[in-house]
Amino acid sequence: MPLKTPEEYINSLKKLNLVVYMFGKRVENVVENPIIKPSMNAVAMTYKLAQQPEYEDLMTAKSHLTGHKVNRFTHIHQSTGDLVKKSKMGRLLGSQTGCCFQRCVGMDALNALSMVTYDMDKKHNTQYNKRFLTYLEYVQENDLVCDGAMTDPKGDRSLAPHQQEDPDMFLRVVEEKKDGIIVRGAKAHQTGAVNSHEIIVMPTMTMREADKDYALSFALPSDTKGITYIMGRQSCDTRKLEEGKMDQGNLMFGGHEALVIFEDVFVPWDRIFMYKEYDFSGQLVEQFASYHRQSYACKVGVGDVLIGATQTIAEYNGAEKASHVKDKIIEMNHLNETLFCGCIACASEGHKEPSGTFYVNALLANVHKQNITRFPYQIARIAQDIAGGLMVTLPSEQDFKSELTGKWVQKYLKGKKDVSTENRVRILRLIENLTLGTAAVGYLTESMHGAGSPQAQRIMISRQVNIKEKQKVAKKLCGIDEK
């Protein structure tokens, strides 16, 4: 069976020889590193739930290539039902982990490439789709985690890739060989990169002919020679190095991002899915982005956790019966369920592409993501409002457990008489984690900038909306005849 268990996944990571740096030093044991491990645990949950009968329908699918049961994160969507299940799976995992679980980017890259390689072959008589399907079967049969790498550093945003003072600001081919190519550059903000078996590279923007050396898509094992990972910092990240766990808020799960360096890396031809076909770079970016904007169903799941935590602290504070608190909880749920409407709508309105892959409704996917850039911030604001200032002024766990100060912390941070001070502290730390700490990277900042900036979605909305048809109907109803 191609489905890995969580233990098999973790053991597979131990076999990788990744070059990872954090705080200026190489990480010797990536799997056991206390800052990285919570993010690995979150990915492991995608394997755990796939093993559980009650989640089998959401977490697994039947491969259209082999007929085998595969993890849905390696599946190519074969119906609008698959797209809906993808959204529901994202919400489920967000609610189970309270963070980013890091496999969506790879899933979205696979699905976008399944369409673009097919279309390129039709136009250019290339063999990319055959290569891709061979690669896809390998990913499915080994139940691999793929890191989808699209975002380049970009350098001076006013200049095209070929105009940059430093040509490596966009990943590019620097040499062509008989058996493959040599590439150089970097990919930024790579979610879950060091928890991945494979890295799938895509262009970051629409390329013109002058930028054809940057119009590249390929896949490599994550520990390929020449690939280096530099871990990004997150707010409160070093709390994971402390002896206690209470101050972390989320005791088991988290996320991570990395800057991924490609220093003259060799890519064999059979792993290349786009090579200078600049005329398809825009399609790949757009279709990947639409899929990935749908994937922000995960924020609905994290929102479920934050709403649950907010209701809990209201009860612990003895404020749950106040009318304004009740109304604010209603508003949080309204906003969160509105987000869920968006991801279900763009899935339900999806359609079949010539390749056979089902693609989301791009307009609704971009509307959904535009709401994601706003509503989680409003939900977080209400959570902080109800939680109160203690969320950010709590003494440390060490003070809580100290023989000298613990008695005062226990006494003066008490809420309702039937709620322990420790439980009150724990739920406040979770809210802090979700709205200000490490999880806030995935819930808030990623909601703003993940899958493209808010303006990128607005541009796509303007392109997808048929404004002429809206004008036509309006003019007809009021009797305007411009013939």
Distance CA 143, CA 136 (A): 10
Check if the beta carbon of residue 259 is closer than 8 Å to that of residue 228.
no
Instruction: Give yes or no: 337 in active site.
Output: no
Catalytic residue among 46, 97, 117, 191: 191
Instruction: Give yes or no: 104 in active site.
Output: yes
Instruction: Give yes or no: 257 in active site.
Output: yes
Other CB atoms within 10 A of residue 423 CB: 13
Catalytic residue among 135, 189, 256, 298: 298
Catalytic residue among 64, 75, 189, 292: 292
Instruction: Give yes or no: 176 in active site.
Output: no
Catalytic residue among 60, 198, 257, 373: 257
Instruction: Give yes or no: 191 in active site.
Output: yes
Residue type at 238 in one-letter notation: T
Catalytic residue among 47, 97, 100, 373: 100
Other CB atoms within 10 A of residue 187 CB: 25
Catalytic residue among 99, 104, 343, 346: 104
DSSP code string of 375-405: HHHHHHHHHHHHH-THHHHPPPHHHHH-TTT
Instruction: Give yes or no: 478 in active site.
Output: no
DSSP code string of 23-88: TTEE-S-TTT-TTTHHHHHHHHHHHHHHTSGGGHHHHEEE-TTT--EEEGGGPPP-SHHHHHHHHH
Instruction: Give yes or no: 446 in active site.
Output: yes
Catalytic residue among 47, 214, 291, 296: 296
Residue type at 178 in one-letter notation: K
Distance CA 187, CA 194 (A): 13
Check if the beta carbon of residue 305 is closer than 8 Å to that of residue 95.
yes
Instruction: Give yes or no: 296 in active site.
Output: yes
Residue 183: half-sphere exposure toward Cβ, Cα within 13 Å: 33
Report, as residue numbers or ranges, the catalytic residues: 100, 104, 191, 257, 292, 296, 298, 446
